[in-house]
Structure 1
Amino acid sequence: MASSRQCYLGIVPHQLNPIHLAYEWFGVVWLEEEHQFPVIIGYWFANERTEILENAKLSGCSHWIEVCDHYILMNMYQSIRKKQSDEDWNHRSRLSIRTMFKSPWKEASPGLYIIKSRDTYPLHASAVLKKKFFVWLEHAAVCETEEQLRAFMGRVHAEHQDMARKRGFLKKVDKST
């Protein structure tokens, strides 16, 4: 028995584009097969709904059923954003060696720094670790609120305190004595 593959398209307005930090139209195209989880073919952010439709056509899916169920579409959006957040947290990269010779890193003492991309929300937050000869981007996050920024800072603090303790840089202090 052959399984049928059906293409679906969903579009919702006013979702956060994590790259541009703007609220835009969000569109997603996915496939469903009998008794299988949905497989996302592509997703896009755009200023206009018509741009999403054009991108959906370019994805190779020429016929689809449009889904307007807000719950389904928000689950898709949140699933994509969760995966992006996990990647932002786990992707560690060394910045160019030239970074060490440019402001503000040239003057900065070695240590862990939290940097905001701007003063208004939403914003990008980054945890940057300056060592003697290198600068590392340790973690990043998109924060829509002050609460999310504080949670990011708390998570960075907890992770790096735990790392320092494991490497013997910090000793656990018993406060009961």
Structure 2
Amino acid sequence: MIQLSNTNFDFEYLYLDNSCPTLFGSKKDCFDMHTLSYRVFGGIWKLIDGKRIILGYWFADNESELQYAIRSAGFTELINSDNGEINEVYHSIRIEQDQQNWSNRSKLPILSILKKPWKDLRKGWYVLKSGTNFPCILTCIQKNRYSVWIEHIQVCENKNDAVKFINLINTEHNIHLNYDVYAESNIKN
């Protein structure tokens, strides 16, 4: 199965500077936060004026699926890059995804407050874990008197990531959540 990415195109750069080569790299065993599994990662980028412009990235189950996805996206003339650059591309994408997950707040529909599990809970802060094992998704929720807000989301590969997420929440909102307390409990519908 191929996981296509949200490809970031900067058309101004693409059409103004076709003299810059399009670079490609791939790496096995990269964490795919969309499937919560480790897969082959591939990225395409250009170096323009010393700045890396990422044109797209993909996750696939194997190298041949990755190559197929890249060709299907219209990239044919590529120069293989070294592993150091693909590592930097992968990490810059993960950092950007983590920053978006941290900063995007959303309010649950107004009637959510009247439905389980929210109607039976006191107002306060809650961290929900998507499963019992790692990797998983943690969601920080604040319940107020008349609303429920998703404050932050974090994809965690291990317990250390989860503890860091809880500590960030504590610092950001001046509260005192404890990882061990939330890890043992789970909100049921």
TM-score by length of 2: 0.79
CA distance 1:17–1:3, shift in 2 (3 Å): closer
CA gap of 1:89–1:62, structure 2 versus 1, over 3 A, is: same
Q: Tell me, which stretches of 5 or more residues in structure 2 are unaligned?
A: 1-16, 176-189
- Aligned-partner SS, 1:132: coil
1:124-147 per-position Cα deviation (integer Å, ceiling 9, x unaligned): 111100111111000111111111
**Structure 1 residue 70: deviation in Å?**
2.0
8 A Cα contact 1:143 1:149, kept in partner: yes
How much does 1:161 deviate? 1.4
The percent identity for this pair of structures is 30
Q: CA deviation at 1:105?
A: 1.1
- Structure 1 distance, partners of 2:36, 2:85, is 23
Residues 41 and 59 in structure 1, CA contact (< 8 A), matched pair in contact too: no
Residue in 1 that maps onto 2:55: 41
TM alignment of 1:84-99, pairs within 5 A:
84-99=97-112
TM-score (norm 1): 0.84
User: 1:104 matched to which residue of 2?
Assistant: 117
Any conservation in 2 of the 1:128–1:138 contact (CA below 8 Å)? yes
Pick the structure with greater CA Rg: 1
Q: Which amino acid aligns with 2:132?
A: D
Letter in 1 for 2:147: F
Does the CA contact (< 8 Å) of 1:42 and 1:59 recur in 2? no
Given the alignment of the two structures, is residue 26 of structure 1 paired with residue 66 of structure 2, yes or no?
Answer: no
1:82 counterpart SS class? helix
Deviation at 1:3, TM superposition (A): 7.2
Cα RMSD of the aligned pairs, angstroms, is 1.6
Q: Which AA in structure 2 matches 1:81?
A: R
Matches within 5 A, 1:2-151: 4-33=19-48, 35-67=49-81, 69-151=82-164
Code of the residue aligned with 1:60 in structure 2: it is G
The Cα shift of 1:72 comes to 1.4
